Each structure stands twice: as structure tokens, then as C-alpha cells.
Amino acid sequence: MSQIDPFSPTPDDDAAQADRLAGQLQQIHDAIARIVLGQPRVIEQLLVTVLSGGHALLVGAPGLGKTLLVNTAARVLGLDAKRVQFTPDLMPSDITGTEILDQDESGRRAFRFVPGPIFSQMLLADEINRASPRTQSALLQAMQEYRVTQSGVEYPLPRPFHVLATQNPIEQEGTYPLPEAQLDRFMLRILLDFPERDAERQMLIDTTGAPQAEATALFTSQALIEAQALVRRLPVGEKTLDAILTLVRGLRPETAANKEVRDALAYGPGPRAAQALMLACRARALLGGRLAPSPDDVIALAEPVLAHRMALNFSARASDVSLDGLIGSLARTIA
């Protein structure tokens, strides 16, 4: 008979930890919301991404606070954050680091690796689609494997490690669209909309007068690592698991039962999308103070998790079919 590890967490331990975290996570959400006004859904999705241990692509017009959101979240979560402005002349070594020739006191020369800004716990990749594909690909290994290889030597990245990239959907001239392989590395694509009137009114008052109060750390990197481990231990019921499978498989033209989906899609979400949706639903449940996700979490996260992992065919684009519409219509049937 197998023995139970006395040091492994039990369901009761996880429940107690989740109860403690629920209040902390609400405080973190509120602290970010006091500075990033009018974006409660965006803040929730960003925290879902971080709790899941993933990366996020923030898409929105200029001036909506994408950079402010990332900087504030990093400060409140107690993470070391660095920023890289992506430009057409940016080289991969500008992100990952480079080797320089050093000489010691005895005159001996040797190459020394100087880490780049990617060696941080939260990397803000600003306007990622302005860099060349060669530079964009420098992030691929780091986002998936959490390490950087230079001259055959592997350098592990700090943990936790998150890439939060921004993208401007308006200006497309002089940009390099992200390839499907890299889009799939982003757990969520978070869309930023213009704030409501009351929120924008408060924004005008708060940001054009006296200096705005800065966020303070309410969490630590170690606490975040423990929260991410808890997210992976939360149970998922059969109903929620079936909802995820039904939705993801129903959005693949090869397995979709819906004729509209089969006729509209060039390709659908892969298994990594289902994994991301499962983790994100667990994280959203923890944010809401619940011990297990529900189909409502699947519906709420379907579009930000799946839309950037799919593509319409030419006929559907010509007919003004939208991915959001396809995902939304199918998601509503799984409730």
C-alpha cells in the first residue's frame, strides 16, 4: 500500500490557502484599479494570466494605459520588471544579452555573458509587432522553456517569469505581424477598450492635478509562485472539463459539428489552447474566492484564450464573419 507524503498539501490545506489568498488577490485587484481606471475586466484577465504562470498580449489603441497597467501590476505583485521598446532596428541580443571580452588583472582574456532585460520576472515588450521576425523569435525559447541559450550555454530565467507584450491594432504600416507559433505562446490576448464616461471623468481629475499616488507592493514573488502552484492543484469537475473539450474541439474545422464553423475557419485552436483555458479557468476561480472553476469561467475566458489561436478563411473574412461571434455563439451552448 502506498504511503501518503506527510509534507504534500492536502485538500484542507489548499482550501485554507485559497481562503487566505482570496482576500489578498482582491486587495491586489483593487490597488491596480485605483491607478488603472475603468478597466476591471482587463485587470482581472491580467491577474488570471499571471496566476496561471502564462504570458499575455495586450491589444489596444494608444493612450489606454497598457504600459501603466503592466508597470502597476508588477509593482503591486512585488516583481522585478523591465521594459523593452520594440523597434525595427532592435536586435535579439538587445533582449537576451550578449558576450563581451573581459580582461582580468593578470591579463587573461575571456568572454563574459552580460544578461539582457529578458532576465527579469516581468518583461514589458512594448509594441512587439514593430520588431523584425528575427527579434520576435528571440522571445520564443524564453516564453516556452524559461531559459536563454547563448553560444551553446543555457542560462535559466528568474522565476516567476512573464512576458506582457503590447500591440497597437491601429497602426499596421511598418509592423511585422506575429506568426502563429508565437501567438500560441501567449495564454491570453487581452483587448483594451475605451473607458466608460464616469471612469474617464475620474481619470481626468486624478491624472491632471497633483502627482498621482504610486502603487506599493502587496505581494512577493515567492507568494506568487505558491499561488501558481495552488492554481494547478484546484480540482476541475467533469462538467467544466467537458465544457472546455466541447468548446475547443467544436472550434476546429476538422471536428466541428457546426457547419458555420467548418465553413468559416482556416484552422482552430490546438491542445495548448485547451491547456491554457483549463489553467485560466482555475485561476479565475481562485480570484473569485472559489475552490473549483465552473462553465461560467469557460464562457468568460473563451474569447481571450482562443481567438488569437484561430484564423478565418478568405470567404469568411469577405463575408464579415468575426471570430468573437463564432466563439461566443458556441460558448453560450455549453452553459
Contact 230, 85 (CB under 8 A): no
pLDDT of residue 3: 45
Mean pLDDT of 218-238: 93
Q: What are residue 162's DSSP bridge partners?
A: 122
CA angle 189, 194, 200 (to 5 degrees): 135
pLDDT of residue 73: 93
Contact 123, 82 (CB under 8 A): yes
Tell me, yes or no, if the pTM score tops 0.75: yes
Cell of 185: 505562446
What is the DSSP code (8-state) at residue 209? S
Q: In this predicted model, what pLDDT tens digit does every residue of 23-44 receive, in sequence order?
A: 899 999 999 998 888 889 999 9
Q: In this predicted model, what pLDDT tens digit does every residue of 269-289 receive, in sequence order?
A: 999 999 999 999 999 999 998
Q: In this predicted model, what pLDDT tens digit does every residue of 93-104 receive, in sequence order?
A: 889 888 888 877
Q: Does residue 170 carry a pLDDT above 70?
A: no
Contact 125, 142 (CB under 8 A): no
Contact 285, 297 (CB under 8 A): yes
Q: Does residue 118 carry a pLDDT above 80?
A: yes
CATH of the domain spanning 234-335: 1.10.8.80
Instruction: Name the residue ranges covered by the structural domains of the chain.
Output: 10-215, 234-335
Give the separation between CA 285 and CA 302, rounded to whole angstroms.
14
Rounded to 5 degrees, φ, ψ at 160 are -70, 160
Of 134, 120, 115, the residue nearest 162 (C-alpha): 120
Which amino acid, one-letter code, is at 110? A
CA distances (Å), origin 49, targets 43, 44, 73, 81, 207:
10, 9, 12, 16, 27
Give the separation between CA 294 and CA 311, rounded to whole angstroms.
27
pLDDT of residue 131: 86
Contact 274, 245 (CB under 8 A): yes
Query: With bands split at pLDDT 50, 70 and 90, how would you rate the model's confidence at 4?
Result: very low
Cell of 235: 480540482
Using the structure block, give the residue that is written with the C-alpha cell 504562470. Answer: 53
pLDDT of residue 5: 46
pLDDT of residue 1: 40
Query: With bands split at pLDDT 50, 70 and 90, how would you rate the model's confidence at 67?
Result: confident
Mean pLDDT of the chain: 87
Give the separation between CA 290 and CA 288, rounded to whole angstroms.
6
Query: With bands split at pLDDT 50, 70 and 90, how would you rate the model's confidence at 172?
Result: low
Using the structure block, give the residue that is written with the C-alpha cell 518583461. Answer: 123
Give the separation between CA 176 and CA 264, rounded to whole angstroms.
25
Residues 6+ apart with CB under 8 A from 160: 50, 53, 79, 121, 221, 224, 225, 228
Mean pLDDT of 147-157: 86
CATH of the domain spanning 10-215: 3.40.50.300
Q: Does residue 91 carry a pLDDT above 80?
A: yes
Same topology between domain 10-215 and domain 234-335: no
pLDDT of residue 109: 81
